[in-house]
Amino acid sequence: MWKALDIDTWIEERQASFSEVEGSVIEIVTRVQEKGDAALRELTRELDGFDLESIAVTEEEREAAYDEVDARLMEALVEAEARIAQFHELQRPRDLWLQETEPGITLGVKTVPLRRIGVYVPGGRASYPSTALMCTVPARVAGVSEICCCTPPPVDPVTLVALDIAGVDEIYRVGGAQAVAAMALGTGTIPKVEKIVGPGNIYVTVAKMLLRNRVEIDFPAGPSEIAIIADETADPAFIAADVLAQAEHDPRAACILITTDAGLAARVGEAVQEMAAASERREIIQLALEHSGYVIVGEIGEAVVAANTIAPEHLSIQTADPLPVLSGVRNAGSIFVGAFAAVACGDYASGTNHVLPTAGYARTYSGLDVNHFCRRSTVQMITREGLDCIGDVVETIAEAEGLHAHAESVRIRRRS
């Protein structure tokens, strides 16, 4: 099960899996577009085995959920929310900045939050109150007016409480590609949104990608993955624990160890099998391990090159001297430096966001942050003096392009 991997093949398999479900997702989206709420009920019955009496979660259900959540867990959610908010407050851009770049010309940027966004919180195999916080807290920090959430039924009380703590306005018990379609297109119950964020299984991810001509999305955030750069000083038990932490998410999760030490790879493999056998989610883990394994490289520089080629969702650096390795990393969703930086810390309580691009998309996308919930407009303030500074340049280029009215719009002001 724990085997040597070819990096190029590993990457191809991660990306090729999207095409496997595209036809099914198109069918689901079409049904939602044509039948709205009725399609949501039908698909939830067919795919989730759940009869929806009400699509929307009521205020009474939110309040009742608090009675079902352990007090210690409630405290942990509140503390996690505070840490996530604290980190994301540091990202909050100025509402408006202006800078005089030369006499008479002042330039700047005005930033405003999106009005209405949709959040997808996975369910089914597990409850993810942490994802509820990760997706919604940055939106609230950004100042989004309306936050709605879709999550598969039956909705776990812990997820309901987390969404309530985060200040979500609307909660709907709909999952899968149909939930994405509902938020993107709108139904009788679910008004459409401007942007959809959040991770999900391969069907959710493909639905987001297919509907991007109708709604903006954060990025493809599908089945979880981790790459680990390690040398002979790394603890195989730590690495194996990180592998299992990702493998237990989804049968399509994938883990790859990149190491200079073949002996370490073997010891990690032994630890992975031993831990997997004792895991409560061993069936999921064993399926994920079919996509997992190791790569042996000659030196750490090669490991960095390999990691940049993979562009993993999570990158763990467990080497004797991790900072030079960190300096060489270009492509990764979130980076965990040092033996004690368990990826699970970022999943829950360090404050950074765990909603990250997968399947190599970390080459071009950044993980979820406050900026995903904002849009920016450039601002220019120009006086007569400023117009005289740039007028000749504007007129010359406009005339060269044959856009004479553009040139005249400047010329008429300079003559006044």
Residues 294 and 165 in one domain: no
| Residue 302 belongs to some domain of the structure | yes
DSSP at 405: H
Whether residue 47 sits in one domain with residue 194: yes
Residue 228 in contact with residue 258, Cβ under 8 Å? Answer: yes
Per-residue CA distances from 329 to 102, 174, 187, 301, 320 (Å):
38, 38, 43, 10, 16
355 domain-assigned? no
**The two three-digit tokens of residue 40, written as one number:** 């949501």
Task: Tell whether 63 and 147 lie within a shared domain.
Answer: yes
Question: Does 398 lie in the same domain as 261?
Answer: no
Q: Which residues are known catalytic residues? A: 313-314
Full-model pTM: 0.91
Which two tokens mark 37? 């709420």
Is 349 a member of any domain? no
Q: Which residue, 199, 218, 237, sits at the end of a domain?
A: 218
* 178 and 301 share one domain: no
Are 40 and 160 found together in one domain? yes
The answer to whether the CB of 326 falls within 8 A of the CB of 343 is no
In a domain, 71, yes or no: yes
Q: 250 and 198 share a domain?
A: no
Of 305, 337, 369, the residue that ends a domain is 337
The pLDDT assigned to 16 comes to 76
pLDDT of the residue at 63: 96
The answer to whether residue 26 sits within a structural domain is no
Same structural domain, 10 and 49 = no
Predicted pLDDT at 53: 87
Mean pLDDT (10-residue bins), the chain, 416 residues: 89 82 96 98 95 95 96 97 97 96 97 98 86 97 98 96 97 97 98 97 94 95 93 98 94 95 97 95 94 96 97 98 97 97 96 95 96 97 96 98 98 95
CB–CB of 343/315 below 8 Å?
no
Give me the helices (H) in 253-338, please.
Answer: 262-278, 282-289, 300-310, 322-328
Q: What is the CATH number of the domain that holds 124?
A: 3.40.50.1980
CA 412 to chain centre: 50
Please list, in sequence order, all residues whose beta carbon lies within 8 angstroms of the beta carbon of residue 203, skipping any fewer than 6 positions away. 21, 24, 25, 28, 176, 177
At residue 376, the pLDDT reads 97
**198 and 83 part of one domain:** yes
Judge if 309 and 403 occupy the same domain: no
Total structural domains within the chain: 3
By residue range, what is the domain housing residue 409?
A: 383-415
Query: Which of 337, 372, 398 is the endpoint of a domain?
Result: 337
Q: Are residues 293 and 197 in the same domain?
A: no
